[in-house]
Amino acid sequence: MRANVELDHATLVRFSPDCRAFIVWLANGDTLRVFKMTKREDGGYTFTATPEDFPKKHKAPVINIGIADTGKFIMTASSDTAILIWNLKGQVLSTINTNQMNNTHAAISPCSRFVASCGFTPDVKVWEVCFGKKGDFQEVVRAFELKGHSAAVHFFAFSNDSRRMASVSKDGTWKLWDTDVEYKKQQDPYLLRTGRFEEASTIPCRLALSPDAQVLALASGSSIYLYNTRRGEKEECFEHVHGECITDLSFDITGRLLASCGDRAVRLFHNAPGHRAVVEEMQGLLKRASNESTRQRLQQQLTQAQEALKSLGALKK
């Protein structure tokens, strides 16, 4: 399907949870436009823009947009210190000032409870977007912070269940965090692992965390590096895979593939370290498994992962 952006072009695009609509950020209009799926006369489907664009509210260039998986709110973040929380009709529910000098990245967590941002300061700040039992918006409150870097944070990401986060900083390190904490009881996130990534000290980097948080993908310039988060070791390196700097990086929902874009192509890579992590985990669980049905299930998962590695020619001797 194809959708035309009239008299403008889009710089960012995000699907709604049901994929029957998407939002775009307009380059010249400096605002959001919503496209909805509509039925054509011939029985096919197309995407059409809603009559009204969202009002202009940002005073600086927008760096990211997102729709909560619950479908309850939209987030837009600009390169100053502003993050706006909108309802789907285009009304601003809340304005967040990140106090980070400038924002380099902001995102909604997959669980839709949190909005987080990073920037010039050496931390990642996380807020909770609170709704009432009837689904009515209530407030945005500070939840917790990821503290431990010694320089500006380039980028961060959530695992699929929002219980882990990863960050990469200008201090030349990446960190993996356990964020499954009761912050209302003043519990802070736990630092699980720190790894070296020297490239981050000289140029901005992006990262993606696999859905199970076992693999961290880091992009700097036009190259991608994959790290095993259990040991913090670099396992794969894809050098100069794009003609320009990589602009986005994402694992698919199964965690088997990693997608990147940076020029006119989207490239797909096999996540071999992810399969290796499964092999390692299953071997450990098999040693401790007590009953036969559990052993069979674990053995099946182990065999699948080993076969996947074999087909990729990535089985370690």
pLDDT per residue over 91-145, tens digit each?
A: 999 999 999 889 999 999 999 999 999 999 999 999 999 999 998 999 999 999 9
Region 216-240 average pLDDT: 95
The token pair at 217 is 């993908």
Domain identity same for 296 and 152: no
The token pair at 167 is 């960050």
Residue 202 forms part of a structural domain: yes
Domain identity same for 191 and 309: no
**Block residue for tokens 């199970």:** 212
Task: Provide the whole-model pTM.
Answer: 0.92
Residue 4 forms part of a structural domain: no
Q: Does the pLDDT at position 316 exceed 90?
A: no
62-67 β-sheet, strand order: 62-67, 74-78, 82-86, 92-97
pLDDT per residue over 193-220, tens digit each?
A: 999 999 999 999 999 999 999 999 999 9
Cα angle for residues 66, 71, 57 (degrees, 5° grid): 45
Residue 2 forms part of a structural domain: no
Q: Does the pLDDT at position 317 exceed 60?
A: no
As for how many domains the chain has, the answer is: 2
Residue 285 has what pLDDT?
92
